[in-house]
Amino acid sequence: MTPDHSARPEGRSSPAAPGLDRRSFLGAGACGAAVPLLGAASAAAQPAVAAAPDVRRPLDVKLRINGQDHRLALDSRTTLLDVLREEVGLTGTKKGCDQGQCGACTVLLDGTRVLSCLTLAVMAEGRAVTTIEGLARPDGSLHPMQQAFVDHDAFQCGYCTPGQILSAVACVQEGHAKDDAQIREYMSGNLCRCAAYPNIVAAINQAKSEMGA
Amino acid sequence: MQPFIYQRAETLEAAAQAAAASRGSHVEAPVQFVAGGTTLLDLMKIDVMRPATVVDINPLQERYGAIATDDKGLRLGALARMAQVADHPSVRRDFPVIAQTLDLAASQQLRNMATLGGNLLQRTRCNYFRDVSWAACNKRNPGSGCAALDGMNRKHAVLGTSDQCIATYPGDFAQALVALDATLEIAGPQGRREIAVQQLHKQPGSTPNIETQLVPGELITAILVPSAPWTRRSLYLKVRDRESYEFALASAAVALDIADGEVREARIALGGVATMPWRAKEAEAALRGRRLDEAAAEAAAEAAFAGAQTHEHNAYKVPLGRRTLVRALLDAARLEIRS
């Protein structure tokens, strides 16, 4: 997917700053195409689809990523994955298949694991996004799952690892890591070309006790 | 991906109205609803679907995403997520076939995203449908032909096909609903209506592009599953190329009411082998009043596939589908049901 960069007044994101002038920052301001539809009562008086918005206008999108607010001007087609990597500069989240088949792009939305390649960025508004960069503590010490992946050599090339780790954190929190068979079943959405699966299962078993599950 | 206007629907009426101006079948409409996005965005990325407007219905989740049970049965909001329903204790205990169809579908990430309504409407995995470089696809481009008929059709359907389309319905959940006689609440520009899940999907016939009886602007809002003597003795058996995270080559949703060793009622739906969620009434009739031993299960399976039509690479689906059903029936008969 190629977002239409020509339509975007500002290419890069900035952390939202208080008092930032909205129009000078976004250009499009309130003209973005995210038009909330009218309720039934007012719909009779006005058409629900307000005067055809211009598809070239970027959307004004506010995202909370790893505890930090970002304001972005985005083509409606932009996926959360592309925002993370191309706009916000968080390249830990990986693009594998880009069609929901490999799990490399897994992130947490309000603590729930989802595929960022099949999530429109605008649909993540109002939800807390957690990427691999947001897992470690502020002092830099690793999350127990990250440490367990290191301890058990749970990767070779490492490309699927950020997705594996986020998926594994959620797997434990969901209560779906009771035994090896359940871990394998509930981690089946994360493919590993290097086939580090036995070590991934071992890492999850170690981390789950440290996570208090 | 074609550029599109993104809108959020804050009310059901606004959602219906936004799409009501569209013509034709709902899958071809220029206004499409998005909830989980796992089918729509996938198909938009590969240019199979090209809506001009995408209406986000997630703001409706609070109102249309609840799971409720009472002595009459189960009520599932269409915006409930697959994972949420699969983990629900009442669903697992009283409607195991429903929980199993959800557990065995997709991956946990996708189950966290995908809604029940969207899951029912997921579209075929036929490679010729999903790749627009193949010109011939009657589903994508009516009248253009079917590349699968004499193409690579190993995963294609053997039941409910036509000379226009042999694409397999890929879902699992719908089989459980069809077996259990579930109904759908639908809201749309013309008001509300209720239909049997069995009536939602259509066989391809001469119009494979018309996949369901929904019209543009209509939304599934709830799924109702009646409690019955057979709902607890139910299961889903799914056979596939790999053990997890894969579509069915053959599957069977079965629910049995057995008393004094005899089958009082059997409900059977087949997946992976048909163009739509396939209720096997002939197989059900073959079991009624019989002791469920291997011979009875095989007779039922024979009846289920009596009308199968195979193509070059998918003839194996007939014996595979039969054996899948036999095993599912014998396993269900052996289930210990705690009251």
Where along chain A do its domains lie?
A: 5-29+55-134, 144-210
Is residue A30 classed exposed, middle or buried when 0-12, 13-18 and 19+ CB atoms within 10 A define those classes? exposed
B110 vs A120: CB contact, 8 Å cut-off?
no
- To the nearest whole Å, the CA of B87 is away from the closest chain A CA by 10
B42 vs A123: CB contact, 8 Å cut-off?
no
Using a CB–CB cutoff of 8 Å, tell me whether B62 touches chain A: no
Q: For position A32, what pLDDT does the model report?
A: 39
Q: Which residues of A173-212 are buried (b: 16+ CB within 10 A; e: fewer)?
A: bbebbeeeeebbbbbbbbbbeeebbebbbbbbbbbbeebe
pLDDT digits (tens, 9 = 90+) for B181-199: 999 999 998 899 999 999 9
pLDDT digits (tens, 9 = 90+) for B254-281: 999 999 999 999 999 999 999 999 999 9
- Cβ pair B205, B162 in contact under 8 A: yes
Would you state the structure tokens that stand for residue A188, as one six-digit string?
């089946």
Tokens 């804050």 sit at which residue? B10
Residue A40 has pLDDT above 80, yes or no: no
* Residues B300, B305, B311: CA angle, nearest 5 degrees: 160
| Cα–Cα distances in angstroms (integers) from residue A119 to residues A2, B45, B131, in the given order | 15, 12, 21
A115 vs B110: CB contact, 8 Å cut-off?
yes
Spell out the domains of chain B, with CATH numbers in brackets. 5-57 (3.30.43.10), 64-120+171-226 (3.30.465.10), 234-334 (3.30.390.50)
A57, A94, A115, best to mutate vs chain B, most B CBs in 10 Å:
A115
Q: For residue A52, which residues of chain B lie inside 8 Å, CB to CB?
A: 5
Question: Which residue in chain A is spatially nearest to B53 when comparing CA positions?
Answer: A55
A44 alpha carbon, distance to own chain's centre: 38
User: Average pLDDT, whole number, for chain A?
Assistant: 83
Residue A14 has pLDDT above 70, yes or no: no
Question: Which residue in chain A is spatially nearest to B58 when comparing CA positions?
Answer: A123
Tokens 């995995």 sit at which residue? B125
- Cβ pair A168, A210 in contact under 8 A: no
pLDDT digits (tens, 9 = 90+) for B34-50: 999 999 999 999 999 99
pLDDT interval class at B339 (50, 70, 90): low
DSSP annotation of A170: H
Neighbouring residues of B302: CB distance < 8 A, sequence distance ≥ 6? B286, B322
pLDDT digits (tens, 9 = 90+) for A103-151: 999 999 999 999 999 999 999 999 999 999 999 999 999 999 999 999 9
A37 vs B14: CB contact, 8 Å cut-off?
yes
- Between A52, A56, A113, which is nearest B112 by CB? A113
Amino acid letter at B55?
Answer: V
* CATH fold of A5-29+55-134: Ubiquitin-like (UB roll) (3.10.20)
Q: How far apart are the first and last CA of chain A?
A: 39
Phi, psi torsion values for A159, nearest 5 degrees: -70, -35
Is residue A103 classed exposed, middle or buried when 0-12, 13-18 and 19+ CB atoms within 10 A define those classes? buried
Q: For position A102, what pLDDT does the model report?
A: 98
User: Average pLDDT, whole number, for chain B?
Assistant: 96
Residue A85 to residue B100: CA distance in whole angstroms: 36
Would you state the structure tokens that stand for residue B61, as one six-digit string?
């989740």
Q: For position A212, what pLDDT does the model report?
A: 82
The architecture of the domain spanning A144-210 is: Orthogonal Bundle (1.10)
- Between B6, B109, B112, which is nearest A33 by CB? B6
Neighbouring residues of B231: CB distance < 8 A, sequence distance ≥ 6? B94, B95, B97, B180, B225, B255
Residues B49/B55/B57/B58 CA torsion (nearest 10 deg):
90
Residue B148 has pLDDT above 90, yes or no: yes
Q: For position A51, what pLDDT does the model report?
A: 58
Q: For position B272, what pLDDT does the model report?
A: 98
What is the maximal distance between C-alpha atoms in chain A? 64
